[in-house]
Chain A
Amino acid sequence: MIGMVSFGGGYAMLPLFERMVVVEHGWLSPSLFVDMIAIAQITPGPIAINSATFIGFQSAGVLGAAVATVSVVLIPVMLVAVVSHYAERFKESKAVKAILSGLRPALVGLIFSSVVSIAQSSYVDYKSPILFLIVMFLLWKVKLHPILVIVISGVLGFIVYY
């Protein structure tokens, strides 16, 4: 179900993942969900695949991981197979462009709603906003690689909270 409506790559899937995994089924706690995103980010491979494997493993072991990974790609892959058959027509389709024109702004709203709920579960104490500013500075001004930023924030977390 997530695979079917998840336009725009891994980050766009997160609000759906969160709703299903944290809110509806309770497979992961909110803070474990955020940890999972960090792990999906620092390991190689597509974020959605990494997340699906992680969630599947947590809720039903290795078999669960396999089922979750296959099902997140199943419908999109069938769509790709169909579309590549009609590639020329799809490319020019005004209807597809129109639907996407409504989806892109919706994605922005969805991603920001995940940001807020993830921020809530990541907030520990008054030090959290300070760490956030440091991380944003490293990411936007120093333009460090996201993986490096995650590693640095882990070190900061160790220094501040251990």
Chain B
Amino acid sequence: MQVRLTTLFFSFLKIGAFTFGGGYAMIPIFEREFVHRYRYLSQEEFNDVLAMVQSLPGVIAINFSVFIGLRLRKMKGALVSMIGVALPSFVIILVIANFFFRYVDHPVVEAVFKGVRISVVALIFTAGYKIFKTNRHLKAVFLAALTFALVFSVNVHPFFVIIGMGAFGYLLHLRNGVNSHGTV
């Protein structure tokens, strides 16, 4: 079954334009569109793609669109899907940023954002706590605390901490093996 490039483009454009809350919020929408509505992918294929996308670095929604695009229409499909999903964000942010920088010093905008910043702290705290909840083994808690200390107190660049922790996970695996959940 050959999927038309325009169909692919507009499916992703729609998802990019109407999904609030970032990449994770898009996953159920991708599933509804591509598995249930158009039946381009089986549920099993979808789950495989999801698992792979989550173990790769990068923007989840973009990686997802490239994966699906590649599968359905090779390189052209990947390109069309990727542009479709990213274009709405790009345009909307350009417009907003333009206004924002013009009015950022206005007292009303300042007051509103004093409140908004508080909920950003709460939202990011919640996101961190959700990942923390998935693995509360002593070793994981220790690694999390170590990372926090390295980045925050010792001021090591996060880039090196990430590389180091990945290498550390790999070394642990060489010694002990990894259990079926992929946790330390």
Chain A residues near B (Cβ < 8 Å): 1, 3-11, 14-16, 19, 31-32, 34-35, 37-50, 53-54, 57-58, 62, 65-66, 69, 72-73, 75-77, 79-81, 83-84, 87, 90-91, 94-119, 121-122, 124, 128, 131-132, 135-136, 139-140, 145-147, 149-150, 152-158, 160-162
B163 contacts across to A, CB distance below 8 A: 5
Knowing A109-B143, A110-B147, say if A77 contacts B58 (CB, 8 Å): yes
Docked CA distance A54–B159 (Å)? 22
State the 6 A-B residue pairs at the shortest beta-carbon distance, nearest first: A157-B115, A102-B169, A76-B58, A109-B147, A45-B89, A98-B173
**Whose C-beta in chain B lies nearest to the C-beta of A6?**
B57
Q: Are B16 and A45 in contact (CB under 8 A)?
A: yes
Knowing A3-B59, A80-B56, say if A91 contacts B51 (CB, 8 Å): yes
Instruction: Give the residues from 157 to 184 in chain B that come closer than 8 angstroms, CB to CB, to chain A.
Output: 157-159, 161-163, 165-170, 172-174, 177-178, 182-184
**Whose C-beta in chain A lies nearest to the C-beta of B180?**
A97
**Whose C-beta in chain B lies nearest to the C-beta of A45?**
B89
Knowing A38-B113, A104-B131, A153-B118, say if A48 contacts B59 (CB, 8 Å): yes
Query: Is B38's CB within 8 Å of the partner chain A?
Result: no
Knowing A50-B89, A54-B93, say if A103 contacts B166 (CB, 8 Å): yes
Q: Of A102, A110, A111, which one neighbours B170 at CB under 8 angstroms?
A: A102
Docked CA distance A7–B90 (Å)? 22
B140 contacts across to A, CB distance below 8 A: 104-105, 108
Query: Is B2's CB within 8 Å of the partner chain A?
Result: no
Knowing A5-B159, A44-B88, A46-B60, say if A104 contacts B135 (CB, 8 Å): yes
Residues of B contacting A: mostly: helix
- Quote the shortest CB–CB distance from A89 to chain B (angstroms): 11
Docked CA distance A116–B155 (Å)? 13
A19 contacts across to B, CB distance below 8 A: 157-159
Residues of A contacting B: mostly: helix
Docked CA distance A31–B147 (Å)? 24
Q: Of A1, A10, A16, which one neighbours B59 at CB under 8 angstroms?
A: A10
Contacts A19-B159, A106-B162 aside, 7 further interface pairs with beta carbons under 8 A come to: A15-B151, A43-B96, A46-B23, A48-B59, A83-B52, A113-B152, A132-B118
Q: Of B92, B97, B169, which one neighbours A103 at CB under 8 angstroms?
A: B169
Query: Is B132's CB within 8 Å of the partner chain A?
Result: yes
B144 contacts across to A, CB distance below 8 A: 105-106, 108-109, 112
- Quote the shortest CB–CB distance from B102 to chain A (angstroms): 12
